Amino acid sequence: MNKIKHMKIPFYIIVGLSLGLIIANSFIFSSLKEEKQEIKQEINNQVIPYKVFQPYIPDTLSFCGETVPLQNFDVYEALDYELIINTYRHSSTLLYLKRANRYFPEIEEILKTNGIPDDFKYLCVAESGLANLISPAGATGFWQFMKTTAGEYNILITNGIDERYNHTKSTIAASEYLKKAYKYFNNWTLAAASYNMGMGGLKKDIDYQKVDNYWDLHLNQETARYVYRILALKLIMSNPKLYGFDLEEKDLYKEIKTQEIIIDTSISDLVEFAFENGTNYKMLKYFNPWLTGKSLNNQNKKEYKIVLPAKNARECMK
């Protein structure tokens, strides 16, 4: 049999190949290191347009003149939680700020007339964001009245009318509720909490737990957060720039000039009624969302105040 001869590779070739591999690896490693350094330098040179920061919490805080015990860790952290959520939920909070410029003046006036502290305007924001919403439970309007509660505070609900959508009347009704709640609890913070869970439910928790202030009560999750959310909205909306909302006057929704007419008859066709009064159905519904039907049945000849846009009011936003 023929023997296969094994060819020997000269030693100098092995050494040369090894040195070549070492040099190649060193070159590749050096190149990667330089590339990483260049990327790192490029990142460092960039101007980061957005920063996340801790929302400001003041040393002292009050609600309707009642002290918030921020020295308690649970109170401090609960407020911190709501501040973080409402500061960084940009789209919602931005809309609240825009709408407040339009709706707060009337709300403030009604609250003041009824002896309700100004801080309660932020409760309205917490409830609806100053929009005519309907909750999954059926609470409706700026102040989120349920049908049963609405009837107790002279808010009319019929087949073609739902005055929960009338932010003037619902603000008056909310003021009446808050006056009643304050008289019951002798405390505005508890009155605010009761707006969320009801006076009866809150009183049961107070009696069971044998404490008579909101900050010491163990409540359901929604009510436990409720007043803190109102406080967070108060802080942000009182000083929006401090929380990163850099709005100019021109960015805010302006109050719209309107005129009012009083009617005490039925309206068979709201479309024709709108045309006869110099506007259209869309604008009639915008200013009077409480008119839920296509007509108004008024056999009892009750007086209703209908709001219409003043002349050229739609163009005044330019």
Contacts of 46 (CB under 8 A, 6+ apart): none
Q: Please report which helix (H) or strand (E) contains residue 63, including its range.
A: strand 62-63
Closest CA to 291 of 181, 206, 169: 169
**Residue 226 phi, psi (nearest 5):** -60, -55
Residue 22 counted as domain residue: no
CATH of residue 186: 1.10.530.10
Q: Residues 24-69: pLDDT tens digits?
A: 555 555 555 566 666 666 656 666 666 789 999 999 999 999 999 9
Query: Cα(76)–Cα(79) distance, rounded to whole angstroms?
Result: 5
Range of the domain at 290: 258-317
Regarding whether 196 and 310 lie in a shared domain, the answer is: no
Distance CA 182, CA 188 (A): 6
Residues 197 and 276 in one domain: no
In terms of DSSP bridges, do strands 258-263 and 66-67 run parallel, antiparallel, or are they unpaired? unpaired
Domain presence at residue 154: yes
The 10s digit of each residue's pLDDT in 180-224 is 999 999 999 999 999 999 999 999 999 999 999 999 999 999 999
H-helix or E-strand spanning residue 183: helix 167-185
Number of H helices, E strands in the chain: 11, 4
pTM greater than 0.95 (yes/no): no
- CA dihedral 86→125→307→101, nearest 10 degrees, is -50
Residue 189 lies in a domain: yes
Q: Is 263 helix (H, G, I), strand (E, B) or coil?
A: strand
